[in-house]
A and B are shown apart, each in its own frame.
Chain A
Amino acid sequence: MRTAISTLDLASPTSLEHALQLLHEEPRTPLAGATDLYVSLNFGTLPSRRFLDLWPLDELRGISVRGDTLVLGALVTYTALIRSPLVGERLPMLVEAARQIGGLQIQNRGTLGGNIANASPAGDALPVLAVADAMLVLRSLAGERRVPFNEFYTGYRKSVLRPDELITAIEIPPVEGAQYFRKVGTRAAQAISKLVMAGVKHPRAPRIAFGSVAPTVLRVRKTERALADGAPLEEAVAILAGELAPIDDLRSSAAYRRQVAGRLLRRFWNS
């Protein structure tokens, strides 16, 4: 049922510093493109009633290269990713992920930082960040810290992000090897993932991550190691099955997710 809007409160900071100040004063749920806000409010999955509007903070919208690192502001939208030659050149799998998220309307509003903070195990961009060994820049009034994306989540929709912190940027080091992205959704477009996979095909150090097969996005390190060590593909597929913890839900089944993950791994490795 629809939530009564009058029960909600929104603070509108004028700068990042101001936003951090407001967060320091009291816990508020940060809002970026709000693509999930009303849905989760109406479904009762979002208990928050006090929000912090980050959308006007243009300082979080940059896309740049610093040294050899690609730096994406947390408010970079999927549309911005799709249109960015820098991202297209360095991280085509992220562009592919962005293209397959929602329709144009959602791509225009959804942000990379929001996808990370929302912490859904089905977040389409997350496996890409996992295999890209992305680094998250977190800021609070107390200062800035960097947390490897692969150490960010601690459980289902849980992360190391403190209530007074914001994700401000995503740093992505150069990625060596062919990039692979595959989303298996509930339909051809405008779909939520049943399963999503990103991979980097580096012969000595392949990186592979899955979404929607565990409580958080999952780097399958044992599988990676097996492939790096030259194990037969079928052995790697068996190891992968042991690493995944898929469930039956409204969108798919554990059995399907497990089977398809194995087939995608084969497809990726044989490609």
Chain B
Amino acid sequence: MKFILNGQTTEVAAHPMARLLDVLREECGLTGTKEGCGEGECGACTVLIDGEPVCSCLVPLAQVAGKAVVSIEGLHDHPLQQLFMSEVGAQCGICTPGMIMTALSLGPAASLDEVKTALAGNLCRCTGYPAIYRAVLKWRGRATPA
């Protein structure tokens, strides 16, 4: 099975119904994508498929054939990563990669209401969310690497 993972064509030999989450973590060694619930409820396992956020715990590997998957490891010095730390949008950090992936799909110009609506599928138990909003809203105006 071939797909594009963080810009690189990747081939894995795994069961077609293996969860994308497990394939990323165990076959590809990319453990930045986290499992919080396995029910598509917490969003900790969020990755982008063709630019759209999905819960990788709900995606059978077969369904990403030929698609472009971006996990947290596909980001390099992205301003959101710095901002999540400096604004304390990350506390324990377990929801952070998924939160960043969803925020990423919003783009830097989102309003507070848009941020809240977009992140409703990502649970955080530490921050109560305001610090996450502060992090995402500060993205506006920061340079985003290509």
- A residues sitting closer than 8 Å to B (CB atoms) are 2, 5-6, 8-10, 12, 31, 33-35, 37-39, 42, 51, 53, 55-56, 79, 102-106, 108-109, 188-190
- Expressed in whole angstroms, the Cα–Cα distance for A103 and B122 within the complex equals 8
Q: Which of B46-98 contact A (CB under 8 A)?
A: 46, 49, 52-55, 57-60, 62-63, 65
Nearest CB of A to B98, in Å: 9
Q: Which residues of A have CB within 8 Å of B15? A: 5-6, 8
Check if A2 sits within 8 Å of B38, measured CB to CB: yes
Q: Which chain B residues border A39 with CB–CB below 8 Å? A: 38-40, 58
B52 touches A108 (CB 8 A): yes
Contacting residue for A105 out of B40, B60, B63, CB 8 A: B40
In order of increasing CB-CB distance, the 9 nearest A-B pairs are: A103-B121, A189-B120, A105-B55, A10-B16, A108-B52, A55-B63, A8-B17, A105-B121, A103-B120
What would 19 A/B residue contacts be, using CB atoms closer than 8 Å? A5-B17, A8-B17, A10-B16, A12-B62, A34-B60, A38-B38, A38-B39, A39-B40, A53-B63, A56-B65, A102-B40, A103-B120, A104-B52, A104-B53, A105-B102, A106-B55, A189-B120, A190-B41, A190-B121
What A residues does B105 contact at CB under 8 A?
Answer: 104
Are A5 and B18 in contact, CB atoms less than 8 angstroms apart? yes
CB neighbours of A34 from chain B (8 A): 58-60, 63
Majority secondary structure, B binding face? mixed
CB-CB < 8 A to B54: which residues of A?
105, 108-109
Q: Smallest CB–CB gap between A102 and chain B, Å? A: 6
Q: Mark B9-33, 1 if CB is under 8 A from A, else 0.
A: 0000001111100000000000000
What are the residues of chain B within 8 A of A56 when measuring CB–CB? 63, 65
Closest to B47 in A: A105
Contacts of A106 in B (CB 8 A): 40, 55, 121
Chain B hits for A108, CB < 8 A = 49, 52-54
Cα(A205)–Cα(B17), bound, Å: 47
Q: How distant is the Cα of A6 from the Cα of B15 in the complex, in angstroms?
A: 7
B118 at the interface (CB under 8 A from A): yes
A44 to chain B, nearest CB (A): 14
The answer for the CA separation of A104 and B120 in the assembled complex, in Å, is: 8
Starting from the known contacts A5-B17, A109-B55, 8 additional A-B residue pairs (CB-CB under 8 Å) come to: A8-B17, A34-B59, A38-B38, A53-B60, A188-B120, A190-B41, A190-B120, A190-B121
Could you say which residues of chain B place their CB within 8 Å of the CB of A102?
Answer: 40, 121
Bound complex: CA A5 to CA B17 (Å): 7
Roughly how many angstroms separate A79 CA and B38 CA in the complex, as a whole number? 22
Instruction: Specify the chain B residue showing the minimal Cβ separation from A41.
Output: B17
